[in-house]
Amino acid sequence: MEKSLGKLVIALGGNALQSGNGPATAEAQLEVVKKTCEHIAEISCRGYEIAIVHGNGPQVGRILQAYETAKEVTPVMPFDVCGAMSQGYIGYHIQQCLKYALNLRNKNIPVVALATQMIVDGADPAFQNPTKPIGQFYNEQEAKKQEQEKGYVMKEDAGRGFRRVVASPLPKRIVEIDAVKKLWDSTIVITCGGGGVPVVEKDTGILEGVAAVIDKDFAAELLAEQVEADCLMILTEVEKVAINFNKPNQENLSHMTLEEASRLVEEGQFAPGSMLPKVQAAMKFVRANPSKKAIITSLDKSLEALEGKTGTVLTFA
């Protein structure tokens, strides 16, 4: 058996699942996922043991929108069920494309997408202050219409337009973690998709779905802790984390200590719902694992970042 370069949990951002300028069809997503899986297969072939966590913001928003549009002919599904649907079809696309990419490289390893529930606290203050963007972008006028007609909470998203926001409670426990651990040594597992389907545990022990989207970066961080990963890698649209983002004095960062990252968060350098949760998840991981590291970079630079050539590395000190 080849020597492992370490355990790696990879969190895939929305751009790894769909193109910003292409149509939002299943076929278009599949094409983007094929390219994404080329990079992941390459990482696996270098000798890393990996698990994959993906987001679902655009997809779960569209599934819900489809139901609401067709409500005269079919019942609208609850939000948690829409989340499970998105987890299923995105996981299916990734497992299909990744298995093919690995086969091309003569690496015969199973790839499995695991429907995953994530326990959250029903009293989490996030339910009173929705922040997680889902679905499509709207201009200001369209956003106001959505608020008036559907009672949605709409917020501006990093200068790109307005989107619906829902609660984003912190993940507390991965229900299927034992299955993930059992599969780890033999299988690449796609788990906690979309952050996991958010559920609360009742006094009776029954799990009940709630209307929320768990941030996939925090879900990936919890998974990385639970499987004792050596590195948490958060893939996004940019090669490096930046301060003064999109301003003339923008500065890209190659390295942050936990203390430096805390200071920059306090200064408000990172956009909520965008870079902020990525930095916070990375901080949480190195705080819990002072000898380990987190990397934030873009998909196409992922291998170079693992080799220490680019990306933003966050360490305890």
**List 15, 122, 209, 293, catalytic entry:** 15
Among the listed residues 7, 99, 240, 278, the single catalytic one is: 278
Catalytic-residue membership of 278: yes
Do residues 195 and 118 make contact, with C-beta atoms less than 8 angstroms apart? yes
Query: Which of 132, 240, 284, 292 is flagged as catalytic?
Result: 132
CA angle 6, 298, 118 (to 5 degrees): 65
**In angstroms, what CA-CA distances link 127 with 55, 120, 135, 136, 223?**
19, 11, 18, 21, 23
**What are the residues whose beta carbons fall under 8 Å from the beta carbon of 63, sequence distance 6 or more?**
77, 82, 85, 86
Sign of CA dihedral 238, 239, 241, 247: negative
The whole-angstrom separation of Cα 11 and Cα 235 is 6
Alpha carbons 26 and 75: distance in angstroms, whole number: 22
Report the sign of the C-alpha dihedral through residues 139, 17, 64, 122, in that order: negative
Is 284 annotated as catalytic? no
Task: Give dist(CA 193, CA 188) in Å, integer.
Answer: 14
Q: Which of 13, 14, 91, 273 is catalytic?
A: 14
Active site residue 240: no
Map tokens 């990079």 to a residue.
39
Joined together, the tokens standing for residue 52 give: 């994959």
**What φ, ψ does residue 316 adopt, rounded to 5°?**
-65, -45
- Give the active site residue among 55, 57, 83, 216: 216
Residue 111 has what DSSP assignment? E
Residues marked as catalytic? 14-15, 132, 216, 278
